[in-house]
Amino acid sequence: MKCVSISVVLLLLASQAAWGRDIPLLRDIPEDVPELVGFATGCSIPLNNGLPQPQPLFLIPDTDQFRYPSTSSGVLTLNAGETLELACSAGFSLYPSETSIKVACVIDDQFNYESKMYSFSEFSCTANWRSVARRTTSRCYNDATIVEIGFELGARFPKILDVCHDEVTFDNHYLVHEFTPANAGFQAGVPRPGWIQGNFYTGVTVNTLYTVNTQRETIATILNSQSRADQLVQGTDNGIFMARGHIAARADFIYGTQQNATFWFLNAAPQWQNFNAGNWERIESSVKTFVASRNINVRVYGGTWGVQTLADGNGDHQQIFLDFDANGRRRVRAPMVYYKILHNEAQNSGIVLIGVNNVHISLEEIRRDYIFCTD
């Protein structure tokens, strides 16, 4: 039996104008050009102002693996002559008939493709990527289904997430993804897309379940008290409502294409907004700093556990769901806690971070009902 140490925490080349895009032949280069000593011999692409838009996928050539920065600097670096595969779902602006090209680093942001020189930002797609969620035959907790979220690229499927999704209860138990020091230098300022339901959650419109008015109506039914529901779910102005809480935060992923792919309801659960934008956001940010400062690679298991309860007018606690009726339908549970497990496989060690998803309980209740283990 393997033992894992676990800690638990509650809580620029010549001007293009001079010679166009044609790369000079070796015989055309004067012999008396001095050797460049101490100058950059590769390419550097800052993620926040140097990437093409719409953005292609950046891949290790001929694989389904993304090519990432090697540090937390937020700069993608390549050696001179190193190749990078770019992929667009509907072709490139420069080459509309091509969905995948391999470009070679020359210097700075200059890349060679088919004996022409281009700035890296010129390799834009004709359209934004749309991610895909596909069911697998693998099973997980409570006979739920493993769903992969990624991008269809012919026979390849560059993936960002595995999700354990229950097609009966509509619960998203946990998900798995990778984390490296590069994640701390993620692309910032990516516009938020809309949420995606796809062909999951049959029979319901998940967006509607999350509206404040629907939350109030549902909780009023569960607690048999509209006044109590109005007290518990107040509105978006003060954050006392349940948001579509990312299980894996969009800022947990490096490129804008990947961040947009986190907006599947498969990667969400009901989360009180004040917790979402408060303690849990601080945990999410701290994880990136932790991994980068220690220069480690970890596998992240993020998930939800338990069913949150709220007191009705009589003081009796009732379990909370967003899809509920008096005839027994209880789906899309409001989790008791959110958690993240960071597993360093190289050192066989890890840490567990737990956040209490309830803004209506006291410290006494947390100490009584939320202590999962003692150190």
State yes or no: 142 annotated in a binding site.
no
DSSP bridge pairs for 125: 92
Q: What percent of the chain has pLDDT over 90?
A: 84
Predicted confidence at residue 21, as pLDDT, reads 43
Question: Which tokens sit at 278?
Answer: 């408060």
Where along the chain do its domains lie? 43-119, 132-370
Q: 242-280 burial by CB neighbour count: b if 16+ within 10 A, else e?
A: bbbbbbbbbbbbbbbbbbbbbbbbbbbbbbbbebbeeeb
The tens digit of pLDDT for each residue in 138-171 reads: 999 999 999 999 999 999 999 999 999 999 999 9
Predicted confidence at residue 41, as pLDDT, reads 77
pLDDT of 210 > 60? The answer is yes
The tens digit of pLDDT for each residue in 323-374 reads: 998 788 899 999 999 999 999 999 999 999 999 999 999 999 999 989 887 7
360 in catalytic set: no
Confirm or reject CATH 3.40.570 for domain 132-370, answering yes or no.
Answer: yes
More confident residue, 25 or 335: 335
14 confidence band (pLDDT: 50, 70, 90): very low
Q: Which of 165, 173, 246, 343 is catalytic?
A: 246
Which whole number is the average pLDDT over 53-62?
98
